[in-house]
Amino acid sequence: MPKITIDKLADLQARVGQEVAVSDWLEITQQRIDQFAAATGDQQWIHVDAARAAKESPFGGTIAHGYLTLSLLARFSQESIAIGNIRMAVNYGLNRVRFTAPVRYGKRVRAHFKLAAYDEIDGGVQLTWHATVEIEGSEKPACIAETISRWYV
């Protein structure tokens, strides 16, 4: 169940510049990393070979793919924010993405969503979000992204 429920899409306009939601924590398991590797074909040893990563990697073990971390923003958003009067929401794109720290398997991550822009479009609105994926216990975030979504009423 989403943490934040907003009755009408138009109510978001007053929230521009504010943090709107923070997701729950999610543990990054080796199984999740392996499934992402299988789905994308990215089988680089730093992600999927625990023994080699423990021995040769500067991180002391396997790490999540940066794109795995980025892809979790959809899940985190859906779990964190519910809008009452929309019929459909779609990802429209990204303006900027940076992977600022690796996510080791076994670590927990969560996302913070700050609404950067609210722009009316035909049939709905285009929302620009500043999303930050935090790693539990780390000073540096795993990912900082500016995402764009379109929400239709």
Lowest mean pLDDT, pick from 1-10, 34-43, 135-144: 1-10
Distances from the Cα of 52 to the Cα of 42, 43, 46, 55, angstroms: 16, 13, 8, 5
Average pLDDT over residues 60-82: 95
Contacting residues for 123 by C-beta, under 8 A, at least 6 apart:
152, 153
Q: Would you say residue 133 has pLDDT above 70?
A: yes
Q: Maximum distance among all alpha carbons in the chain?
A: 54
Compute, in degrees rounded to 10, the torsion defined by CA atoms 149, 143, 4, 106.
Answer: 130
**What pLDDT was estimated at residue 85?**
81
**What pLDDT was estimated at residue 82?**
87
SS3 category, 9: helix
Whether residue 107 contacts residue 33, with contact meaning beta carbons closer than 8 Å, is answered with no
pTM: 0.93
For 76, list phi and psi in degrees, rounded to 5.
Answer: -60, -40
Whether residue 143 contacts residue 133, with contact meaning beta carbons closer than 8 Å, is answered with yes
- The rounded mean pLDDT for the chain is 95
Rama region for 6: left / alpha / beta (φ>0; ψ in -120 to 50; rest): beta
**What pLDDT was estimated at residue 2?**
59
Sign of CA dihedral 34, 39, 100, 91: negative
Q: Would you say residue 135 has pLDDT above 60?
A: yes
Average pLDDT over residues 14-24: 96
Which pair of tokens denotes residue 44?
A: 């680089």
* CA distance linking residue 66 with residue 50, whole number of Å: 17
Binning pLDDT at 50, 70 and 90, where does residue 7 land? Answer: confident
